[in-house]
Amino acid sequence: MNKNRLAGMGLLLMTLLLVSMAFVSSVSAQTDSLSKNNSIDNQSLNRNIVLDADIDIYPDTYSYNKYDYGTINVNIDNYVLPGGFSNYFLKIPDGVEYKEVYDGKEPDNVYYLGNGESTIIPEWGSVNGPATVLYWMDLHTFGYDENMKVKVKFNSIDDFEFYAGDSATEAITGATATDNDRFTVNVS
């Protein structure tokens, strides 16, 4: 990881910590007032948490020839108030070769899974092979938008289903929102 990214992550972490401290004070005040009435309403405690996870994936076309190159578009639009984490992945099926992310954020991890192999994705659990799984994660406050273009090569004739999952998790409470998307392309 380069120094600029580490410095940026440090600044983001400090901002998240300050926002989270203010949030904890707000929740503590609500808890104290609710405890006096011997009635704790979870909706009241969670009203300051706003979560949204949205992932959309789509190809440049839904029909390819064998050995064609294609683009898979991955669009993330998450929101976490006051702050938290985004984790998302793209599962590329067996028979389709991952080449590169040529526009947008590089994946934090790339898993090449064989038959019977799997990897664990936070908030999603086990993702099974055979497949190539691109995984991204980020710490952020408020809104989080990322758009990536992933270059792939279709090495077999078949119908291929691409699948993606996204989660946004609030840092203090662990509350999570999730979304997923999929599409199928035909290769002849």
User: What pTM value is reported for the model?
Assistant: 0.76
Q: How many domains does the chain have?
A: 2
Q: Is the pLDDT of residue 37 over 70?
A: no
Tokens of 61: 């076309």
Q: Provide the pLDDT for residue 26.
A: 40
Residues 72 and 127 in one domain: yes
Q: First CA to last CA across the chain, in angstroms?
A: 41
Residues 94 and 173 in one domain: yes
CB 116 within 8 A of CB 129: yes
Residues 20 and 87 in one domain: no
Q: Provide the pLDDT for residue 111.
A: 98
Residues 34 and 72 in one domain: no
Q: Helices (DSSP H) in the chain: which residue ranges?
A: 3-36, 42-46
Residues 108 and 178 in one domain: yes
Range of the domain at 11: 3-46
Lowest mean pLDDT among 13-27, 59-73, 105-119, 159-173: 13-27
Give mean pLDDT, residues 144-149.
93
Rounded to whole angstroms, the Cα distance separating 36 from 23 reads 20
Q: Provide the pLDDT for residue 23.
A: 42
H or E element in which residue 136 lies:
strand 131-154
Confidence grade of residue 29 (pLDDT, cut at 50, 70, 90):
very low
